[in-house]
Amino acid sequence: MRVLSLELDQFRNYAALRFTPPSGACVFIGDNAQGKSNLLEALALLATGKSFRAAREADLIRDDAPAASVSARVATRHGEIQAACIVARAGEGARKRFFRNGRAVPYGQFLGGVMAVTFIPLDLQLVIGPAGLRRRLLNAGLAQTSRAYYRDLAAYGAVVTQKNALLRASGAPDRDLLLTYNEQMAISGGRIASARAVYVRKLASEATAAHARWVGASPEFDVAYRPSPALAEETPEAIEQALRAALEANQTLEIKRRSALYGPHRDDLALSLGGLPLARFGSQGQQRTAVLALKAAEYASLHAAAGEPPILLLDDVLSELDRERRHAFLSSLGDFDQAFITSTDVPDMPATLRGEVVRVRAGSLAIENAAHA
Ligand SMILES: Nc1ncnc2c1ncn2[C@@H]1O[C@H](COP(=O)(O)OP(=O)(O)O)[C@@H](O)[C@H]1O
Ligand SMILES: [Mg+2]
């Protein structure tokens, strides 16, 4: 998969950008705050429909402009597609609209057209950071490859928000309403957890293999799904039942704690090396290698699901890695069609990677030279 052209209008610090990216590696270099990450954010928006960093989507719109737009022509194995997203100010916030080949489409249908794997510095915390980061890893892969998953996740998230609001309101909560929420959580939650169980198995085998390629087969890196509540079975129906039972059994506890305590919004991954939890027992180097194995596995899974290499977006992560890890990681993704990489200096990359260096200065781009002859 490869971006043939990118257009930004009133997006972040780009007034109007028309850019024809090279195939292979496209390295954006420049000082801080020039707009390097903004470019990756725009590309990721076309893959996931979301910013990888903005809490407020109105922040994507340049200065006082009424709307921002991002549009790209992308070559895929199914032919060329055009994907676009318009973010318009609406009251205090913003409203997004999605387009495929010039036609407005719902978010759910927009997903899966452009596929990207995004690697940002926050991902370096995947082992030691909060469980939310690990759920984000699962959601990024699953939402791009399954519309049903995205729909379930959106529905589930909305119910959890409503349920928490009910539990936090003063006075005794309406039990019937609580039951209705629990029922909705059990249905969409069963499907989410089932999809995650299957995905984690694929991710785990890829991650274990990548890790073994880099540092040898022993000690083995293992990734296991830790669903909430713990599950014995993997079919959506069985999980739905288990979730329904857990929510019923813990109703009093949830009312007392005033919080939704069980369900996929509390899922986690167990990451271990030689059977020991990496977050507690791993050295910093071991934890970092595990993170790279997880990201390489995400890439391999999306690659397999799409039937072609996804676009790779690396925001300021290469400079965080030592030379050996950087080379091992990049070599393991060696077959990518296109990667967008940001860095303050030209990063040292394996000689086999073709590419171009593009300097970013205050929202404008200039091709510098070929990264490698
Ligand atoms: N909505 C916006 N309107 C105008 N400029 C913005 C907006 N959002 C961010 N910027 C500018 O973008 C720049 C940061 O871009 P970024 O891509 O994060 O930089 P870097 O090159 O360090 O990755 C800053 O100068 C910031 O002021
Ligand atoms: Mg940046």
DSSP letters, 186-212, are: HHHHHHHHHHHHHHHHHHHHHHHHHHH
Residue type, 19: F
- Whether 5 is covered by a domain: the verdict is yes
Atom of ligand 1 nearest to the CA of 360: 21
At residue 263 the predicted structure's pLDDT band, cuts being 50, 70 and 90, is: very high
Return the residue whose CA atom lies nearest to atom 11 of ligand 1.
13
- Whether 154 is covered by a domain: the verdict is no
Atom of ligand 1 nearest to the CA of 342: 23
- Whether 46 is covered by a domain: the verdict is yes
Mean pLDDT of the 58-81 span: 97
Mean pLDDT of the 275-292 span: 97
Residue type, 236: P
Evaluate: CB of 14 within 6 angstroms of ligand 1: no
- Whether 62 is covered by a domain: the verdict is yes
Residue 53 DSSP symbol: S
- Whether 26 is covered by a domain: the verdict is yes
Closest CA to 292 of 165, 126, 50: 126
Evaluate: CB of 331 within 6 angstroms of ligand 1: no
- Six token digits for residue 200: 């984690």
List CB contacts of 91: < 8 A, sequence separation 6 or more.
none
Evaluate: CB of 208 within 6 angstroms of ligand 1: no
Give the integer Cα–Cα distance in Å for 68 and 94: 10
Give the integer Cα–Cα distance in Å for 289 and 214: 9
- Which pTM does this prediction carry? 0.94
Preceding omega of 130 cis (within 30 degrees of 0)? no
Q: For 92-140, how does the pLDDT look when each residue is reduced to its tens digit (9 = 90+)?
A: 999 999 999 999 999 989 998 999 999 999 999 999 999 999 999 999 9
DSSP notation for 69-97: EEEEEEEETTEEEEEEEEEEEETTEEEEE
Domain carrying residue 358: 1-115+310-373
With contact defined as beta carbons under 8 Å apart, do 322 and 286 qualify? no
With contact defined as beta carbons under 8 Å apart, do 52 and 120 qualify? yes
Q: End-to-end alpha-carbon separation of the chain, Å?
A: 23
Q: Can you give the CATH number for the domain in which 108 is found?
A: 3.40.50.300
Beta pairing class for 364-370 and 355-361 = antiparallel
- Whether 133 is covered by a domain: the verdict is no
What is the count of structural domains for the chain? 1
Please give the mean pLDDT across all residues of the chain.
94
Q: How far is the CA of 358 from the centre of ligand 2 (A)?
A: 14
- Whether 300 is covered by a domain: the verdict is no
For residue 91, pLDDT over 50 is answered with: yes
DSSP notation for 265-290: GG-EEEEEETTEEHHHH--HHHHHHH
- Whether 204 is covered by a domain: the verdict is no
